[in-house]
């Protein structure tokens, strides 16, 4: 009787495991901040990361173009049998998430809503700043989501176009980066904000520089909130790999030079990454 019960439970648990990978993508290396947080909170999961390095930056491109790029990437991921997709790019989340959700029947999430939820949790004075790419800021995606929570939020937005190439060139603690942070963030310092959303997945890499300019302001890196959301969706839908016998692996695909990506990716992942170039 006991043996039968154990066997029954084990069979049930096996049914609940889903070892297919999670797909995570960005225009370049920035989304690795999200992949890293997913890996830390749910280490059993395999991840397929796609960095569209041949076409970075996305931040100055039109909505139609971003929707096309995002579909090409998700089609590639579907062929790799992902069980869920995380759009780890604020620009692609702002411009293509709705279209992706309509096209695919697996869960697809972006980074905007988790970032907003986090900002709302930490802001006391309801004065929130948002920095991002030109496309993210002009889409108004953060403003729309924050206003859904309460019309009483005062929101101040600005774009920081040079932050992405500075990160991609590993100029993290460079005087030029400090200079640019000072210029970009000057107006935010005059607005009495208590919270600043880092609305581009590249920006958490510059957290220490931004933090020095924006003293006493809470910086919101949505990657942790995204990881929590991924975990909760996988558990709700019975898609989690939780409890299997080996820890998850990350495989990266890029649309341009592998070694250039490896070089910058070393900021995020200390392990030697498995990276392949693919043409979509
Ligand atoms: N990391 C991307 C984002 O979160 C943008 C960088 C780019 O312009 O491609 O918006």
Q: Which residues of 231-241 are buried (b: 16+ CB within 10 A; e: fewer)?
A: bebbeeeebbb
Q: How close is the Cα of 26 to the center of ligand 1, in Å?
A: 7
27 in contact with ligand 1, CB cutoff 6 A: yes
Q: Which of 24, 27, 112, 166 to mutate to test the pocket of ligand 1 (most atoms within 8 A of CB)?
A: 27
Of all protein residues, the one whose alpha carbon is nearest to atom 8 of ligand 1 is 59
200 tagged catalytic = yes
Q: Domain 2-110+225-277: which topology?
A: Rossmann fold (3.40.50)
User: Which residue of the set 159, 160, 200, 252 is catalytic?
Assistant: 200
Please write down the HEC assignment for all residues of 2-29.
Answer: HHHHHHHHHHHHHHHCCCCCEEEEECCC
Q: How close is the Cα of 244 to the center of ligand 1, in Å?
A: 34
Q: What is the pTM (predicted TM-score) of this model? A: 0.91
Q: What are the pLDDT digits (tens) for 4-45? A: 332 334 445 445 578 999 999 999 999 999 999 999 999 999
Cα–Cα distance measured from residue 56 to residue 51, given in angstroms and rounded to the nearest whole number: 9
Q: Where does the chain hold its CATH 3.40.50.1860 domain(s)?
A: 2-110+225-277, 113-222
Q: Locate all alpha helices (DSSP H) within 55-174, ordered by sequence.
A: 63-79, 90-103, 112-122, 134-139, 141-149, 163-168
89 tagged catalytic = yes
CATH assignment, 113-222 = 3.40.50.1860
Q: What are the pLDDT digits (tens) for 168-208? A: 888 999 999 999 999 999 999 999 999 999 999 999 999 99
Of all protein residues, the one whose alpha carbon is nearest to atom 2 of ligand 1 is 89
Q: What are the pLDDT digits (tens) for 234-245? A: 999 989 987 666
Q: Which of 201, 226, 261 to mutate to test the pocket of ligand 1 (most atoms within 8 A of CB)?
A: 201
């Amino acid at each position: 009787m006991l043996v039968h019960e154990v066997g029954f439970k084990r069979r049930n648990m096996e049914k609940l495991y889903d070892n297919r990978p999670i797909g995570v993508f960005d225009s370049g290396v920035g989304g690795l901040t999200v992949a890293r947080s997913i890996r830390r909170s749910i280490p059993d999961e395999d991840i397929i990361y796609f960095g569209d390095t041949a076409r970075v930056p996305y931040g100055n491109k039109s909505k139609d173009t971003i929707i096309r790029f995002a579909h090409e990437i998700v089609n590639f991921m579907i062929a790799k049998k992902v069980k869920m997709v995380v759009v780890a790019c604020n620009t692609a989340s702002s411009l293509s998430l709705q279209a992706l959700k309509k096209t695919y029947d697996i869960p697809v999430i972006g980074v905007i809503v988790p970032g907003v939820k986090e900002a709302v949790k930490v802001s006391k004075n309801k004065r929130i700043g948002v920095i991002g790419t030109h496309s993210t800021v002009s889409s108004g995606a953060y403003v729309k989501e924050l206003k859904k929570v309460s019309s009483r939020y005062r929101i101040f937005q600005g774009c920081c176009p040079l932050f992405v190439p500075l990160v991609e060139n590993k100029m993290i603690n460079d005087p030029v980066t400090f200079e640019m942070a000072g210029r970009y963030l000057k107006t935010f310092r005059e607005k009495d904000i208590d919270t600043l959303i880092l609305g581009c997945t590249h920006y958490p890499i510059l957290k220490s520089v931004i933090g020095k300019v924006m003293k006493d302001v809470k910086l919101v890196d949505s990657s942790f909130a995204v990881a929590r959301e991924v975990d909760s969706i996988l558990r709700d839908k019975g898609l989690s790999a939780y409890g299997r016998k080996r820890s998850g692996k990350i495989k990266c695909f890029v649309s341009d030079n592998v070694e250039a990506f490896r070089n910058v990716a070393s900021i995020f992942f200390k392990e030697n990454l498995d990276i392949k170039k693919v043409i979509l």
